[in-house]
Chain A
Amino acid sequence: MGGTGSGKPMNLTLHVWRQAGPGAAGAMRTYAATDVSPDMSFLEMLDVVNEGLVARGEPPIAFDHDCREGICGSCGMMINGQAHGPWKATTTCQLHMRAFSDGDEIVVEPWRAAPFPVIKDLVVDRAAFDRIIQAGGYVSVNTGNAVDGNAVPVPKTDADAAMDAAACIGCGACVAACPNGSASLFTAAKITHLGHLPQGQPERHRRALRMVTQMDLEHFGGCSLFGECQQACPKEISIDAISRMNRDFVVASVMQAEERQVAGAG
């Protein structure tokens, strides 16, 4: 799990991005975090700093968070230039202060990507992710339409592969870590999850076509297979998903072109 924490309280210096609102000019501000226990989570450390700020009548540092268990995908910040900080496969809320040492300077910034505009301080707008799902990240089955759960057997390996991809928490670390600001890993994770299951087959190609198109419309960058996304992903989603997405997308594009031809010929 790394970290050089010694069990003793630490004194740290934070450099935090402060921005009053959407479109406002932001700047880095420096704060002292004193008496930090190595057993604190990163967000608990920020809580303590914020309590101090509030007590002094200053606005606390705004950041998104909710579950604090690494599953809701709310939290996320660049910590010393790394999405979610130094621990592998760990969200910011699960990062613990034993990852740092007494005297460390820590730079904390919001996700930086054009499709994720800053709302305030470390809070960004990730609604583009929801719109990508709206474009096709589902199975079109209305309530009441289902057959028995065991009617269609699903090989365990497929179910497991689907689950691996479905573990995505939609935090946006992949976009923040990518030099191009691409949302390919996020989009591919959903395409891969549903693509591994029989229930996802009827809409498989339409899904890939529409989700990838939406991703482009949101101005996410293209994928150059740098692999930074996979490194930063707190759920260790594999970059293989992206190849799968690309295959589905190509097939879908060819099918669409053929359909157009047929329609045109008719």
Chain B
Amino acid sequence: MAIDLNAKVPSGPLAQKWDTHRFEMKLVNPANKRKYKVLVVGSGLAGASAAASLAELGYQVNCYCFQDSPRRAHSIAAQGGINAAKNYQNDGDSIWRLFYDTIKGGDFRAREANVYRLAQISVNIIDQCVAQGVPFAREYGGTLSNRSFGGAQVSRTFYARGQTGQQLLLGAYQALEKEIAKGTVRMFPRTEMLDLVVVDGRARGIVVRDLVTGAIDTHLADAVLLATGGYGNVFYLSTNAKGSNATAIWRAHKRGAAFANPCYTQIHPTCIPQSGEYQSKLTLMSESLRNDGRVWVPKAKGDTRAPDQIPDAERDYYLERKYPSYGNLSPRDIASRAAKEVCDEGRGVGPGGLGVYLDFRDAIQRVGKDKVEERYGNLFEMYQRITDEDPYRVPMRIYPAVHYTMGGLWVDYNLMSTIPGLFVLGEANFSDHGANRLGASALMQGLADGYFVIPYTLGDYLARSAGMAPVKADVPEVKATEAEVRAHNDRLLGIKGKRTVSSIHRELGKVMWDKCGMAREKSGLESALGSIPALREEFWRNVTVPGSGVELNQSLEHAGRTADFLELGELMCRDALHREESCGGHFRVEHQEAGEAKRDDARFCYVGAWEYTGAGKAPALVKEPLAFENVHLATRSYK
């Protein structure tokens, strides 16, 4: 039976949909809120903001994260900034323009109504964060500063030095800690969700493992929110934190939540290139650097001269040449592909020719070293620590790396998945970025979902579900789910084969990068659809997980996550194969025009959501058609 993808977009004009909907949604009266229990899995921007806001309203909240403190969620690593349509710069920004830039940036593969709401809410986010004491950058007059990010011609990005994610997360974390102190939130750090409990078709709880003692337990509630972040680590090497994983969303998928657009992956153009086989992660150099850095490679193939020996006339500033109106601030998918192209032509620099220059020479000449240091000092230091090169003197070498996943669990306008009572927030859902996310928009979306959307839509769900019977811990669904989790862990511990988890995860990552990375092709995807199941078999036959399940066991944690990546990776390739067009981050070699992505709106103007149909069975594709009523479906051009 195919699932129903009703997006529940409110009727009425675009600009009034959210207001109308807010008025029409049912409310839970304050005395009743106390009776509802909500589980928030994740303490990143989306999870922490949701947990704090819901607790403030009076709900009983449990919040979970796998790190030792909610403050360490992966959101902490975001560097560059957060967008908002404040138009403080008087440079022509507006809610409409942010909406339009985001829809266009996403290559017309996102839902109009969601994106418009995001742009509307963006302005409230900045206000809320300022009120919490987030130390945003300021001008001498005391007003908030802005910078520019890719895919926009206005300056609408708010930032706190190179640590915007850190400061926004600490704001949300502090709001969360304030509620924990009041007893309205119970925090479960070092706790991993391993399954979703579904009773009578509704999400009613989760099975968790205490990562210190290994104890497995079930927590029951009236609704479950997943804010567990993205799945970029399916590629092994990515800019994500080492622990970022797909387990929560993948296991929810296997319980019935449709997975939308899994193949939409963002490859970020400016990361530090890999230096060796032991490499454990890739480090992002913020997009903000492209405000002042110029990207180039030598015009000639195989030019091995030191960069300062190559005169300007022999350099190819290819982004400025190909995209004169956006230049170095072209969107990420375009900048990444352009880098790959010049490297494929043999014009790449550094070891293996897998790099391009990001050069600050001209900026230093124009504004001085001090100014450049003030803007990017911490990033330059990080670069130097990792590479042992001084970017004030030698241009940075950068290369694209996996950074963000636009795909995720399918949600309707209310952020509810196809399982009633299961809501999905932040990077874990698929909602707002279409086939490519613009810089500084993930932080905006995570906080919009958590502070300003879920407090309303969750209340509506609970009010409409009044009379839902409490679930008892001994109902068969609860017992069965917990038993399956235990069996899964025991199986992992029992294989005692010869290969480490990392070696298999790395191998999966290589297949994904080669076949489902920056450029995808039918033959490559088909070969991956053969090699991934084979690797999965190898994993279940030959992996070794030392230790036991009743202790802190990082190998077991990694094994469980890798097992899920081995399934998700296959679905990503399947999705990429079925989408016979190029759009945003999804570039099919067969579908291009003069080197640019070629969309096929007649056949693919839809969200592709996959339904799990059982182990070893092909998943079913369900489509949510996308209707563009307010913007004209145009070919994206940044020329």
Given A60-B546, A197-B133, A67 and B280 contact (CB-CB distance below 8 Å): no
Given A47-B280, A66-B74, A162 and B144 contact (CB-CB distance below 8 Å): no
Within B423-465, the residues touching A (CB, 8 Å) are 451-452, 455
Q: How far is the CB of B322 from chain A (nearest CB, A)?
A: 31
Contact between chains at B69 and A119 (CB < 8 Å): no
Given A58-B546, A146-B127, A200-B133, A170 and B142 contact (CB-CB distance below 8 Å): no
Flag whether B23 is at the interface (Cβ < 8 A). no
Flag whether B52 is at the interface (Cβ < 8 A). yes
Contact between chains at B135 and A1 (CB < 8 Å): no
Given A96-B386, A166-B167, A62 and B552 contact (CB-CB distance below 8 Å): yes
The residues of A that contact B71 with a CB separation of less than 8 Å are 73, 130, 170
Query: In the complex, what distance in Å separates the CA atom of A40 from the CA atom of B241?
Result: 17
The residues of B that contact A133 with a CB separation of less than 8 Å are 173-174, 177
Contact between chains at B135 and A47 (CB < 8 Å): no
Within A17-76, the residues touching B (CB, 8 Å) are 20-22, 37, 39-41, 43-44, 47-48, 51, 53-55, 57-60, 62, 64-74
Flag whether B551 is at the interface (Cβ < 8 A). yes
Q: Kindly supply a per-residue 1/0 record for chain B positions 278-304, scoring 1 wherever the CB is within 8 Å of any chain A CB and 0 otherwise.
A: 111101100000000000000000000
Query: In the complex, what distance in Å separates the CA atom of A120 from the CA atom of B556?
Result: 15
Contact between chains at A153 and B143 (CB < 8 Å): yes
Contact between chains at A146 and B131 (CB < 8 Å): yes
Query: In the complex, what distance in Å separates the CA atom of A18 from the CA atom of B578?
Result: 50
Within B148-173, the residues touching A (CB, 8 Å) are 160-161, 163, 166-167, 170, 173
Query: In the complex, what distance in Å separates the CA atom of A193 from the CA atom of B174?
Result: 13
Choice from A73, A134, A155, A162 contacting B142 with Cβ under 8 Å:
A155
Q: How far is the CB of B193 from chain A (nearest CB, A)?
A: 17
Q: Kindly supply a per-residue 1/0 record for chain A positions 137-179, scoring 1 wherever the CB is within 8 Å of any chain B CB and 0 otherwise.
A: 1111111111111101111100110110011011000000000
The residues of B that contact A135 with a CB separation of less than 8 Å are 181
Tell me which of A104-112, A121-129, A237-245 binds B. Answer: A121-129
The residues of B that contact A144 with a CB separation of less than 8 Å are 124, 128, 451-452
Query: In the complex, what distance in Å separates the CA atom of A119 from the CA atom of B137?
Result: 39
Choice from A40, A69, A143, A193 contacting B278 with Cβ under 8 Å:
A40
Query: In the complex, what distance in Å separates the CA atom of A89 from the CA atom of B382?
Result: 11
Query: In the complex, what distance in Å separates the CA atom of A39 from the CA atom of B278?
Result: 10
Residue of A nearest to B544 (CB): A54
For chain B, the bracket of interface size reads 35 or more
The residues of A that contact B181 with a CB separation of less than 8 Å are 134-135
Residue of A nearest to B499 (CB): A55
Choice from B124, B163, B174, B278 contacting A138 with Cβ under 8 Å:
B174
Query: In the complex, what distance in Å separates the CA atom of A260 from the CA atom of B131?
Result: 31
Q: How far is the CB of B25 from chain A (nearest CB, A)?
A: 15
Given A60-B546, A90-B385, A163-B135, A154 and B278 contact (CB-CB distance below 8 Å): no
Given A44-B279, A71-B163, A127-B189, A138 and B242 contact (CB-CB distance below 8 Å): no
Query: In the complex, what distance in Å separates the CA atom of A85 from the CA atom of B243?
Result: 23
Q: How far is the CB of B403 from chain A (nearest CB, A)?
A: 13
Q: How far is the CB of B48 from chain A (nearest CB, A)?
A: 11
Query: In the complex, what distance in Å separates the CA atom of A123 from the CA atom of B15?
Result: 51
The residues of B that contact A142 with a CB separation of less than 8 Å are 53, 56
Flag whether A98 is at the interface (Cβ < 8 A). yes
A-side residues, CB < 8 A to B, are 1, 20-22, 37, 39-41, 43-44, 47-48, 51, 53-55, 57-60, 62, 64-74, 87, 89-90, 94, 96, 98, 119-120, 123, 125-127, 129-130, 133-135, 137-150, 152-156, 159-160, 162-163, 166-167, 169-170, 193-194, 196-197, 199-200
23 CB < 8 A contacts A-B: A39-B276, A41-B280, A44-B280, A59-B547, A66-B241, A67-B72, A69-B77, A72-B241, A73-B72, A73-B76, A74-B72, A127-B69, A130-B69, A135-B181, A138-B174, A143-B175, A145-B131, A147-B127, A150-B144, A156-B139, A162-B133, A163-B135, A193-B135
B-side residues, CB < 8 A to A, are 49, 52-53, 56, 67-72, 74, 76-77, 86, 88, 124, 126-133, 135-144, 160-161, 163, 166-167, 170, 173-175, 177-178, 180-181, 187, 189, 212, 241-243, 275-276, 278-281, 283-284, 381-382, 384-386, 388, 451-452, 455, 498, 500, 502-503, 544, 546-547, 551-552, 554-555
Q: A196-B135, A199-B131 given. 8 additional CB < 8 A pairs?
A: A1-B388, A40-B276, A60-B555, A65-B242, A98-B388, A139-B132, A143-B53, A156-B139
